[in-house]
Amino acid sequence: MGEKRNLRCLMKLEFNSTIFEIQTEDSILTRDIQNLRPVTLTLTRSADHEYYGSLPQKPGTDGTRLTSRVEEGGVYYFQAWNAFSLNFRDMDISPYQVHYVGKAGKDLAAALEASGRTITVTVFP
């Protein structure tokens, strides 16, 4: 059996005048990001699978899940660059690892995939 995680909706994200719920894991990372809200970020498209941009402060990551396999609709944090990342395609990013924040789903992934080089998103309560 897989490991049971405490999932709950801690965040909402606005992009292109649409609100997307992010189902998150309860962790120091998600709580620290939650404390930044509302925050507006400019994200840049990268490697034809994600948009990423810096957070205004570095969140804690102790005890959070790391992965090298990002998923469509997934929300991640790359500690080395203090980067908040929205993914619109499944991809193995080995040897890199990112911290799992949550999952927004296929609707956000489709909207991201159809977007240009940079986007603006707002993360809010």
pLDDT digits (tens, 9 = 90+) for 78-100: 999 999 999 999 999 999 999 99
Residue 5 in domain: no
Confidence at residue 56, expressed as pLDDT on a 0 to 100 scale:
97
Residue 1 in domain: no
Instruction: Check whether 117 has a pLDDT greater than 60.
Output: yes
Q: In the structure, what pLDDT confidence band is assigned to residue 6 with cuts at 50, 70 and 90?
A: low
β-pair partners for 98: 67
Residue 105 in domain: yes
Residue 64 and residue 27 in contact, taking contact as beta carbons nearer than 8 Å: yes
- Residue among 38, 44, 105 at smallest CA distance from 74: 105
- Rounded-to-integer distance, Cα 36 and Cα 39, Å: 6
Count of the separate structural domains present in the chain? 1
Confidence at residue 9, expressed as pLDDT on a 0 to 100 scale:
60
What's the whole-model pTM score?
0.91
Instruction: Check whether 24 has a pLDDT greater than 80.
Output: yes
- Residue among 86, 96, 76 at smallest CA distance from 30: 76
Instruction: Check whether 10 has a pLDDT greater than 80.
Output: no
34 Rama class: left (phi>0) / alpha (psi -120 to 50) / beta:
alpha
Residue 63 in domain: yes
Residues spanned by the domain of 80? 10-124
- SS3 for 65? coil
pLDDT digits (tens, 9 = 90+) for 46-82: 989 999 999 999 999 999 999 999 999 999 999 999 9
Residue 3 in domain: no
Residue 21 in domain: yes
Instruction: Check whether 39 has a pLDDT greater than 80.
Output: yes
The CATH number of residue 43's host domain is 2.40.100.20
